[in-house]
Amino acid sequence: MGPEAKFYKEIKRKLPEFSFIRIENSSLLGTPDLLVYNTSGHFCTVELKVSKGKKLRFSPHQIAFHKRHPNNTFILAKTLGPCSSKTSPISMYHGSRISELAACGLMLDACYSGWDACRLALEA
């Protein structure tokens, strides 16, 4: 099982109040990894990224998707490497910030840091 598949299992365990649908799509390149249905009856998409360092890799198709769909899209990242005392290994960004995230990686300040903050953002 790859790192993103393990991350997906962790997400389901940590955020059980949401309905997650894993999207495995090779015909529509750039489609995010998850379709999320929250308790308010709203959908959003989440791209999963797992990194051992500060750099996050995005395909041109992923960047295009988030630029074309800037609302209700998120990028959820997990850092496997060491974190400073000021940062969480879990960080989430609005999809509209994908260009900054691709350029700066995890040096970019997260929109939401930690499981509780991510939970509140997905619920909003």
Tokens 């609005």 belong to residue: 94
pTM: 0.92
pLDDT 10s digits, 36-93: 999 999 999 999 999 988 899 999 999 999 999 999 999 999 998 766 556 679 999 9
Residues 74, 95: contact at Cβ < 8 Å? yes
- Check residue 49 and report its DSSP letter: E
Q: Which of 123, 106, 115, 104 is nearest to 14 (CA)?
A: 115
